[in-house]
Structure 1
Amino acid sequence: MLAKQRYNKILELLDKDGIVHTAELVKLMGVSSETVRKDLEYLDNQGRLSRVHGGAVPVDIGTTPDMPGGYISLQIRNSQHLEQKSAITAKAASMVEEGQIIALDYGSTSQMMALTLKERFHRLTVVTNSIQNALILAENPGITIILTGGVLNRDEYTLVNDFSATLESIHIDIMFMTVTGIDPVVGCTDQRLSEIRIQNQLHQSASRTIVLADSSKFGKASLIKICPFEEIDTIITDGGITPLMEEKIRKTGTRLIIS
């Protein structure tokens, strides 16, 4: 593959997925990691992308202090893997009963879940640290919304830090947890330090924790460990998961549902 063809392929994948990983580009294009590194360096110098550790992101994303690997904006994530997220959240909603207390964390899949709950249920209580989720759910007068409180994170429209002590006394029937990485050895991981405390509090207060993750999250371990598989009731994903990864996840004893 000629250099120009590689550049076009890299930019095409970046536009589609919002991020490219060096290891995946090596396999996809059949070249060395050094060649990929030089390609990314060239495109970075041309202002076509921004290099980060292990790959590259669009130039308007860059990095943040608590995400060394590069931050993909919520706006971009909201446009990715929509069909898979819709199938995942539809399956998740089928596990909810009227009148239950549900917890939602943050992110694009969580927002899709909020939309699904708003359309399907007449009476729920939802605990969340996501302002976007709260605004979506507020359109349904039968849903009681409990915001965790805290300091506004403008990147994710979440409330974070140590203003959520009351969560320790709240009972939650199901927490729907979203993650940025699922690894058979490491467990469930995320990239943002600022949200991890509230995610853990919601998880600890819940009778069941169900992880919602599209297949692109599997085989990846992000910066922050959330919890091991032993603490998870179920993982719901889409049909894009590889047979090998499916086998590895099932061997951990975790219930895996493919929507």
Structure 2
Amino acid sequence: MSGESRSRDSGGIYLPGGQQKVKNLFDAISEIEFFAAAEASGEPINRGFFTTKQKIEFSEVGFKASLVSGLVVALLSPIMIAVFEKLIPVFGSYEPNVVDKLYVFLLTIGFTVGYAFFIARVGKCYSKQYNITKTMINWLIGGLFTGALIKMFFVFILFHFIYFVVLTPERLYQWALYAVRTLHLSNVTVSSAYQWMLEFRGVFLTAAWFVVATTLLFILIPTVSILKTWLREKRQNRVEDL
């Protein structure tokens, strides 16, 4: 969908111009803001102008956006938990202070939370008076939430699989024997690595639940923005009816 528009002489209705593929989240939100402004200054645009192809594009953009933010959390959350558990040093120390922990925590969730607040910009455009804008938001948010939930379940299962199947004490012991007998590593080195892995494997269980929490937060932020607009509009309608 293009950012260009034209208006009919009769009625001042804004209509979409030529179609262009929505490639990313920035394009999608820009389109939503553009048509919200068009419907606010003219008349509601028929939902039929938002074609099936564009619905799929918006849903795909939302789906990919949630996967990108989810990938960042999935990669960083085990490291964050390991830092908190004093298994990985931060700034060269195994004894992180409050500032160090806060820095690691914000580094882990910062991208996802920032992404969510950026997406929440569409909330101010979610008005029942905006036909096509509301439909565009529904498809974008639908793809976003679908991707976020699929990512959450996948990472949750993956981290539990790593804990219960990949990094079991028996399997780690077999790897330790292989390292000593085949790779000829020293017993001290292998023993230290074995003990560290036994402690580190528990990180994945905590990280799995942390991913669930951040995913719910990622979903909640745009939802609250939309609900605020919906409730504000509902209160305004009640005042006008009095």
* Fold equivalence (TM over 0.5): no
More strand by share: 1
State the TM-score, normalized to the length of structure 1: 0.27
Structure 2 length normalisation: TM-score? 0.28
The structure with the largest alpha-carbon Rg is 2
